[in-house]
Each structure stands twice: as structure tokens, then as C-alpha cells.
Structure 1
Amino acid sequence: MKRPLRDRPDTGHVNPRHPLRRLLRYGRAYRQQVWMASICSVLNKIFDLAPPALIGAAVDVVVQQDASLLARVGVRGTFAQLSTLALLSLIIWGLESAFEYAYERLWRGLAQKMQHQLRLDAYEHVQELELAYFEERSTGDLMAVLNDDINQLERFLDVGANDILQVLTTVVAIGGAFFVLAPQVAWWAMLPVPFVLWGSIAFQNRLAPRYAEVRDRASFLNARLANNLSGIATIKSFTAEDSELERLARDSDAYCQSNQRAIALSSAFVPLIRIVILIGFVATLLVGGLAAVDGQMAVGTYSVMVFLTQRLLWPLTSLGQTLDLYQRAMASTQRVLDVLDTPISIPSGQLALPVQTVCGEIDLRDVTFSYRDAQPVLEQFSLHVPAGKTIAIVGATGSGKTTLVKLLLRLYDVDAGTIALDGTDIRRLRLQDLRRAIGWVNQDVYMFHGTVLENIAYGSPEAGFDDVVAAAKMAEAHEFVSCLPKGYYTIVGERGQKLSGGQRQRLAIARAILRDPPVLILDEATSAVDNETEAAIQRSLERITRDRTTIAIAHRLSTVRNADCIYVMDRGKIVERGRHEELLAINGIYAGLWRVQTGLQTMEMDRKR
């Protein structure tokens, strides 16, 4: 179920250089599970560090016997002391295993929940952005954000968060034990820790821009692949396979190079840290050994410190891999949360509009609109469409016809003026209600990968099989669908590539018919069909448009000659209006277009020759 934007976790308006802070603010809803997973990680590490202490106690029992620490607390006899240590070992190992199982499940479960919800939230937010956002970004780039970047965050939550907690627990627990057992040696054991932490921070700051570049290169590569796979037919027809392979190779090489620059730096972390750690280990070995020989430290305590020094320092080398995961995840988190922070420039209104109450009267008053950084497409444009009438809008390409459709659906918002449906400004209406009231048959028909049945019923999930068939018959699609290998259950392929352009267009008309909207927009609805199919569709459209507000946008004037009123647009303005016969009588732009399309002008020129 989708969560309304107002109910989503707050990403906050924080400094974009701190993606972790933004992620923590987003993850407030998972606070309880984070605490539980963190506690299990800490307890697992504490019990994991206990066996060296048991080994030291065992050595103490063997060497000191009745003078050992266990004897001093009341456990007498060597066998009893060793049995006690054996029982403690079983308990500690059991608890360590139990908490390891718990933190594995909790962290991985948290990773799954967060990546799932983050992907849904990001996708839902993207769906609510204006059309201009998609025109300025590639599909591959968005795919990289919604898939690869979120998966990168999941990998870090799977293991990285637990590793960081356990390293911190190790430093605190062992450091505290050292200062209690042998403060004179503890300083040497703890000496490398500040240098390791300082080195980690320094590497993090230098790695961050390199991994940001890696994610950007990955997006470019995804964009190239998505673009080429979508246009594979064009690539083949122009025999451009070799040149596209070279372009892909350049993008892939750029991605590899950026990754190698990041790897070259991150790989240096562990060897450098090992040298620092080795100094602390050798110092503990020598200084502690001399203290044990001089009798300043018990042999058992010395053995515990040697074991714990290794347990303290060597795990710090894993910070390199953890740091690598962290920086990749933060670079990805930055990109995902930037998408979530993209403002919605076309907010939904709050006024409900039940579809059954819509009459379909449309009124555009003094509308001005321009695409970003471009000249106005419409300027002081006004148009009135009576309810239940069919009007046609014709004109040359670029005159603003399709822009009107996008404004009616609020895919864009007007710069000035108003558009009203049944007397109500459409900006006050709920977006879903507005778009449910309008059926749009676009000239660029999009079919989803699925069956014919699913594509016709798209947007009308409550429709039954008989309803789908009835809509297909009205759209003159039933006959060709019945001839398909599996009829209505035939897979149409991605973007409907298994169907012809005319077949896709008839399915799109059937889709709109099934939805039964009070307002129907036909944007070049018969542009991809032959003359015979066009005539059949025209007959069905006469039935479909009856008692329904219909706006037909067409280049082929034969499809709109029966409209109640035809508007001729030129450069964003209405220059002629009237019925078909009236416009022919005016002998203006419409009449000239009519003569060109029907061949009359060509015939007249032939006579003059």
C-alpha cells in the first residue's frame, strides 16, 4: 500500500554533504529494530571476547591451583575450577551463537525493509513529479538510482553497520579490561587505536568524492544501456552496432577507471593500518612479557593480554572493507535522497470529483504556457468546449495542439490563466479524480509487457473478460485479437513490439472505451492505421463519442469532418473555427489543408500545366 507523502519519513533539509544524517532521519520509523539489532551486535561481541579471559583463568588454575582467582572466590580444587570454566565456556559460546543469529536476522531484515520502503517511496515520489523532470533525465539514470543505488545501501546494512558496532565494542571492552588488569601495559596496547581512527576519517574524506564519481559513471552506463536496448531496431537498421559498441566501451571504461581510482586508495588502508597495529602488538608482547618475568603481572593475566591485544587490533584491519562499503553506500544514499527531496511542482488539489458527477464542460481562459527556457507555446489562449459535444483541433505540427492535452491532464501547469472542468479550476481538484475523468488516446501508444487482456484492462482493474471483449469490438480490435496465437492472453512484448502500429492504436482506443470517461481526448487516434481500419474506427467513434465530451486532435482532416466544431490552430492561437463546410467556404488555412490531403490542389495544378 502506498504511503501518502505527508506520512513518509522526513528526509530533512540537512547539509547534502552528510548523507548519513539524512539516512538516519529517514530511518526513524525503524528506530526500534535498529536498537534491537545494535544491542544484539554488542552482546555478541562481548561474549565473543570472553573466551580469552577463560583461557587466562585456566592458565591461572594450572599454575596457581589453590591460589588462583577462582579459588579466592570460593571454588576449591583443580577439577572443580576447570569444570566451572568448562560450564562457563558452554554458556558463553551458546549465548554468542544466539546473539549472532539474532543480529544477522535483525540487520538483514532491516536492510530488506529499508531498501523495500525506500524504493517504493522514491518511485512513488518520482511518479508525482512533473513531466519535465523525465524529459531532462534519462531512464537509465533513474533506474540506477531506484535499483543499483538502493541495493548498495542494502549491502552496507547487511554487514557494514554490524562491523562498525562490533569494532567499537571491541575497543571499549578490551581497552577497559586492559586498564583494570595492567594499566602500565595498556597504554602500549591502545597506542595504535587513535591512529587507526584518524586514518579511517582521513581515508573516508578522500574516498567520498571518488565513490560519488563511481555512482555517476554507473548512471551514465545504465543510461547508455537502457537507451540502446530501447532503440535496438534503429541501431540495426542503420548498421550502427560497431559505433554503439565503441560508445558503450568508452562509458564502461570510464566507470572502470573511476572504480580503480577509488580502489587504489581504499586498498592502501589495510596495509598501512597493519603496520600501526603491529607496533602496538609487539610493544604489548615485550613490555607485558618483561612485567610477567619480573613478577609484576600474573602469567594468566599476561596470556589474556596477548590474546586480547590480537582480538583488539587485528579486527581493525577489517575497517578497510567496512569503510569501502560505507562510502559506496553513502554515495548511493545521497543520490536516492536527492530524488526524494525533489520538490513536486504540480501538487494535487483537495477537492474531490466523483466521475459519475462530471458533465464534461471545459473552459480555458487566457491561458499562457511555455516549456522551460523556451518561447510561449500558448499565449492568452481561450477555448470553450460545451459538455457532451465533439470538437476537433487541427493545425500544423508545433502549433500547440498536444500541449493543450497535457495542460488538461495537468502533466504541466499553466503559467497564467485558468482551465476549468464543469466550472471548477482543475488545480483545485484531486489529480487522480481529474485524470480518471479524462480518457486519453495518445498518438504515441504505450503497451506494457503483458497480455492483450491486461493492456486493455489497464486502468480498469474491476473490468471482467466480457467487458474487455466488448470494448475491443467497439474499437474494431476483436477480429485481429482473435487471430493471435493465444487470443486475449497473447503476450504483446515490451512496448507492444509484437503488434503493428495500427493494432496498438486500436488496443489503446479499447483501453479508453473500457474506462468509460466523461471526457475523451483522441490525439491522432487513427494516425497509424490504414484507410479501411480508419473507416471502421470512425464508425465506432461515432458511437463512443455520443453524449460524451470529446476533443479530437488530428492531422488527417477526414477523421474530424463530422465534429460539432473544428478549431484551426497556428502558432498557439485559434485562427479559424466552424464546422467542416463553413471552414471550406472561408477558403482559409483549413480549406488549403483539405485540398492538399484530398488531392484537389494537385489536380488543379495538373490542369494548369
Structure 2
Amino acid sequence: MAHLLEGIEQDGYDRRYRDRELARRIAPYFRNRGGTVAFVALAVVVAAAAGSAVPLLLARTVDSALSDDGDGRVAWLVTAVLAAGTIAWLFTYLQERMAGTLVSDVVLSLRRRVFEAAMRQDMTFHDTYATGVVVSRVTNDTQAFATLISLVLSLLGQVLMIVVLLTALFLINVPLALVTALVAAVVVGVSLAFRRAARSASLRQQEALAEVNGYVQETLRGIAVTRNHSHQQSAQAGLDEVNHRWFRASVRLNRMFSGIFPLLISLTGLGTVAVVLLGGHGVDSGSVTAGQWVLFLEALVLFWSPLTSIASFWSQLQQGLAAGERVFALVDREPAVRQRDSLPVPRLRGEITLRDIRFGYDARHPVLKGVNLTVPAGRTVALVGHTGAGKSSLVRLITRAYEFQEGSIEVDGQDVRTLDLDQYRRCLGVVTQTPFLFSGTVADNIARGRPGATRDDVEAAARAVADGDWLAQLPQGLDTPTDEGGRNLSTGQRQIVALARVFLQDAPVLILDEATASIDPLTEAQVQEGLDALARERTTIVVAHRLPTVRKADTIVVVDDGRIAEEGDHTALLARGGAYHRLYDRYFRHQGLDEDPADDPRLLSAVERKA
């Protein structure tokens, strides 16, 4: 059946865990819940003891009823049977109720832990693995693993009942007990032998389900593109492909369990036949009383039930263990961005120095090839260059979104890898080309710039961008609702909200990654006004494609094929007639038609030399 799993691949960070290791990893989540755990354990023991007492008391009741002097004991024994059954029911109910609360509490903590693990991963991780696949681990797999706990608690009570009953059976009749124990051992052995294959099949099914989740999420997020290009049929075909992989994995898992369950039922049936025949012969010969035979028959029902339950629960059990592997694989995955220390970060002056930085998103394709750059504190540096030259990669390294392979980055003379990462990132105000807004309101999204900000703080930040004129364009001002991603706002409005968020953050270092590349000229003027106000007395690094932004920079850095080709101001670089001049001719000249080289002798001489 290996062909059924074709196309399903494990994520690169997945690993295998032994059952004992998974138990060790989940144990800490119960330490602060000792009272509940103790009560559940007590309830399991009491329910198992009371449940075991029922067939023993029934056997005594039968023998007493058949004896000449047992009439007086029958009523008491019947009462005892009812009492034992009631106690077993009551404590089973309490066990299930408290265990349900306990498991939900564990799911809450475990899901929080897995979400934190996903949040701390570097951007390489999020670039590599689909969001829906990661979401599946945070939601589906944590629930499946926690469900395993409920199954274990349920089976634990039944196993305790087996132990008590088996002990009583050996005390009553050794041959019959040996037959029962032998069949039980065979059933357990078959189940254990089946475990490894079942775990593997369950893991593949969950990986296939994660693929489906990832594909559906990605397709729905890009629904506009799909419709605009009439790719609905292609999208459906893609879903059919991943869905059929899940189907094949589910079929394989179903075939395995559909084979093991009848086998276990057959084994327990043979054991029952053997006990009935031997017990009936014993009653006929007088070596076994009628009550003892009833005890064995009644015990068989209770005895085989947990063993066959292992088969019926085995699918969920193995899915839970496989889910545990996926959960802890994410928790244990070490981010590529690693800090050597976590020194506190004071208010930064903002001097940034890159020394011989070498970086590639993978080892075979270097992006930055020995970059040396110094950004003075409080100055504005514009990074320009062709698409793919390495501009955005530079700023992503400064924000510690990715880990560079060689070289060093220093901030105010301190190696960035020695700083507390969270504190350092709070010192960076980042505005990207396509800012993301969360569900809520415009005010909520601005407030994310500084936890604990008041409404007055939010309003002040909003009015700091273009004097707040943009707020009049929103139906409800700051209380205007925002959909996921801010889809109900224009690109320019989302960009202005992102700017206001950074204003509120009041970070000493500002990083603008093509912040005005996708907006109209009128909105760009508003955004640029906000940027000018925001950049005052701050270190600002701009990845720029617009001439007005480039010309305002104190220093322009030309990035070409992963290296620094030129540095200088707009006038000097044009006069030099090098890489920046070529970029200007190709990309910028049409944005500044009012600029005449004859107005500057240096530019005129450069043009004459080119001619």
C-alpha cells in the first residue's frame, strides 16, 4: 500500500519520538493541576474497584441462591451489587467530567506553547512552510494529542479492572484463568505489533490533512487573483490533488484498522468459547460451582471489552501520538536566528554598521556577497538598485528576520546578536510595501505600535500623519472596522495606518521597505509628509523606487548583485556617471522631468562625458 502515500512529505523539521518521550514531554502540563489529577486518579481506582466487585458479588449471589441456607444472604448481596454498580457509575461520571476539564485546560496551555513556538520562528521558516500547515499543528494536532489523554485515562480504569478481575479469577480457578490470560496476552501482543505501522499511517494522514488546510487557506487568500485570471478550474484541480492524497492516506489507515479489529474480535471469541467449554465441563464434574462459572462468563464481558476497546480506540490513540510528534517537532525546532546573549537595549542612537555581510536564503544561492556599510545615527540612507540586487535582504538582516552566514552587524557599536531580541525589535519602526492590518478597528491597529497606549496617544499618532486629514476619508474615523488584512481599506489607507502605528511606537530607527511603491501620487504626498515628520532625528533606512524619496536622503547607496556599488548624495552620484546614473536614466528620470542637467555644471559635465 506504499503507493497510497505517494506525494505526502514530512516537513523538514519533523522527527520521531518514542512513546515514553512523549509522555515525559506532556507531564509538565499536569504539574500545576495536581489536585485535579489526584481526584481523577482516585475516581479511576474507585470506579475500577467497584466495577470489578459487581461480577464477584453476582457470583456469590448465584451460589447463595442455589444453596439451601442462602436465602438470607441473597437480599444483602443484591443490594451490594446495586451499590457497587451505582458507585462505579458515579465515579466514572466524575472521572469523565473532571478529565474533560483537565484535558481542555491542557489543550489551552499546549496550544499557547505551540503558538509561541510558531511566533518565534524566523522568516525562513515561514517562507518555507505554508501557513495552513502550521495552523494545523497549532489547532488540530494539539486537540488530537490532548484527546489521547482522555483515551489513556479511560483505558487506565479498564486495565485496573482487568488486573483485579484476573487476580480474582486465578484465586477461584487456575485453569480457566490461564486460558483467559493466554488469550489476553495474544491480543495485547497483536496490538503492540500493530502499533508502529499504525503510527506511521496516522502521521501520514495528518500531514495530508495539513496539506489540504494549507492549500485551502492559500487559495482563499488569493481568491481575487484566481477569479481575475479565471483559474477556478485550476484551483479546483489543485484541491482535488491534495484532497486525493488525504483520501489515499485515510484509506490506508482505514484498511489497517479494518483488518486488526476483526482479528482481535476473533481472538477474544475463541477465548470465550474455550472458557465456556471448560467452565461447563467443570460445573458438570463438580470442580466449578455455578456461581464461579457465572463469574467467569460475566468477567469475560468486562475483560474482553477493554482489549477490544484498544482496537476501536487504536486509530485515535495512534493519531494522538502522531499529533504529539508533530506538536513537539514544532516546539523543539530551533529558529535560524540565534542570539548569543540577551543584553538589555537602552534607547538607541541608531548608528548601524554592517561588516563583510554574506547571506543567502539557501547555501547555493548567495544574495549578499560581502557588504560593508555604515549608517550614521540620525541620518537617512536610501538603498537603490535593480530588483533582486539585495536591498530588501539588507534591511531584513538588520531587523533580524533572517540570520546571516558571515560577517557582523553592530548597532551603536554593539553586536546585534548579543542584544535582547524582543527589546531590539521594539527599537525598529518598520513600514513595508504591503502593510498588514488585523481584524478590529483602525484605532486597534494603530494601538499595536505600543502596548498600553491610550486613546489620546492613538489619536495623536493618527493626526501626526498628514495632519490627520486622511481620517475624514474613513466612514467612522478611527473606529472604522478593518477586515482581516485591512481588505476593506485602500492600499494607501493601509499604508497611512501603518505609518501612524510606527509614529505611536516612537522607535529610534526607522526602516521603510518600498513604503510608497504601490500607492497613487496624492496618497504618496500624504504618506511622504508623514515620513518626513517621522524621520526627523531618527536613523532612517529607505528601500526606495521613487525619486522624491531618493533625493531627500543624506546618502544614497547603490546595491548591485549583492554588493555596494556606489555611495553618495544624489548630485554627486549623478555627476560621477556610474551605476546610479544608469539607474537614474532607466528608472528615475521620468519621475523628475523638471530637473535639468544644465542647472548644475557637475551634471552637465557628466552628460557631456557620456555623450
Task: Tell me the TM-score normalised to structure 1 length.
Answer: 0.89
CA distance in 1, matches of 2:55, 2:303: 12
CA distance in 2, matches of 1:112, 1:490: 36
Shift of 1:550: 1.3
Shift of 1:343: 1.9
Say if 1:265 and 1:600 are closer, same or farther in 2 by CA, change over 3 A. Answer: closer
Shift of 1:247: 1.8
Shift of 1:551: 1.4
Shift of 1:88: 2.6
CA distance in 2, matches of 1:262, 1:512: 51
- Secondary structure of the equivalent of 1:411? coil
CA distance in 2, matches of 1:572, 1:99: 69
Structure 1 match to 2:7: none
- Secondary structure of the equivalent of 2:374? strand
Deviations 1:55-75 (A, max 9, x none): 222222222243x5xxxxxxx
Partner amino acid, structure 2, of 1:40: A
Contact 1:365 1:382 in 2 (8 A): yes
Worse overlay, 321-330 or 574-583:
574-583
Partner amino acid, structure 1, of 2:180: A
Structure 1 match to 2:439: 449
Partner amino acid, structure 2, of 1:264: R
Deviations 1:224-273 (A, max 9, x none): 11110111111000111112112212221221221122112202222222
Partner amino acid, structure 1, of 2:74: L
Shift of 1:137: 1.0
Structure 2 match to 1:126: 118
Worse overlay, 239-248 or 271-280:
271-280
CA distance in 2, matches of 1:507, 1:130: 25
CA distance in 2, matches of 1:290, 1:457: 82
Structure 1 match to 2:48: 45
Q: Give the counterpart of 1:157 among 124, 143, 149.
A: 149
Shift of 1:598: 3.3
Structure 2 match to 1:210: 201
- Secondary structure of the equivalent of 1:576? strand
Structure 2 match to 1:25: 24
Partner amino acid, structure 2, of 1:297: V
Shift of 1:200: 0.9
Contact 1:349 1:431 in 2 (8 A): no
Structure 1 match to 2:177: 186
Task: Tell me the TM-score normalised to structure 2 length.
Answer: 0.89
Q: Give the counterpart of 1:248 among 214, 220, 239.
A: 239
CA distance in 1, matches of 2:536, 2:95: 65
Say if 1:38 and 1:203 are closer, same or farther in 2 by CA, change over 3 A. Answer: farther
- Secondary structure of the equivalent of 1:367? strand
Contact 1:496 1:504 in 2 (8 A): yes
Say if 1:543 and 1:470 are closer, same or farther in 2 by CA, change over 3 A. Answer: same
Deviations 1:445-501 (A, max 9, x none): 111122111111113122222222222222238434333333222222111111111
Partner amino acid, structure 2, of 1:549: T
Shift of 1:431: 0.3
Worse overlay, 375-384 or 392-401:
375-384
Q: Give the counterpart of 1:429 among 406, 416, 419.
A: 419
Contact 1:190 1:280 in 2 (8 A): no
Partner amino acid, structure 1, of 2:285: D
Structure 2 match to 1:317: 308
- Secondary structure of the equivalent of 1:569? strand
Partner amino acid, structure 2, of 1:88: A
Q: Give the counterpart of 2:106 among 109, 114, 120.
A: 114
Say if 1:433 and 1:444 are closer, same or farther in 2 by CA, change over 3 A. Answer: same
Shift of 1:302: 2.1
Contact 1:389 1:564 in 2 (8 A): yes
CA distance in 2, matches of 1:156, 1:553: 50
Structure 1 match to 2:526: 536
Question: Is 1:525 equivalent to 2:515 in the alignment?
Answer: yes
Structure 2 match to 1:337: 328
Partner amino acid, structure 1, of 2:141: D
Contact 2:382 2:557 in 1 (8 A): yes
CA distance in 1, matches of 2:168, 2:590: 98
Contact 1:477 1:510 in 2 (8 A): no
Question: Is 1:62 equivalent to 2:27 in the alignment?
Answer: no
Partner amino acid, structure 1, of 2:117: H
CA distance in 1, matches of 2:566, 2:460: 38
Worse overlay, 97-106 or 325-334:
97-106
CA distance in 2, matches of 1:524, 1:206: 52
- Secondary structure of the equivalent of 1:370? strand
CA distance in 2, matches of 1:413, 1:290: 78
Q: Give the counterpart of 1:272 among 251, 263, 270.
A: 263
| Mapping for residues 81-480 of structure 1, pairs under 5 Å | 81-158=73-150, 160-355=151-346, 357-476=347-466, 478-480=468-470
CA distance in 2, matches of 1:295, 1:284: 16
Contact 2:399 2:428 in 1 (8 A): yes
Contact 2:466 2:529 in 1 (8 A): no
- Secondary structure of the equivalent of 1:599? helix
- Secondary structure of the equivalent of 2:249? helix
CA distance in 1, matches of 2:286, 2:531: 103
Q: Root-mean-square deviation (CA), in Å?
A: 2.4
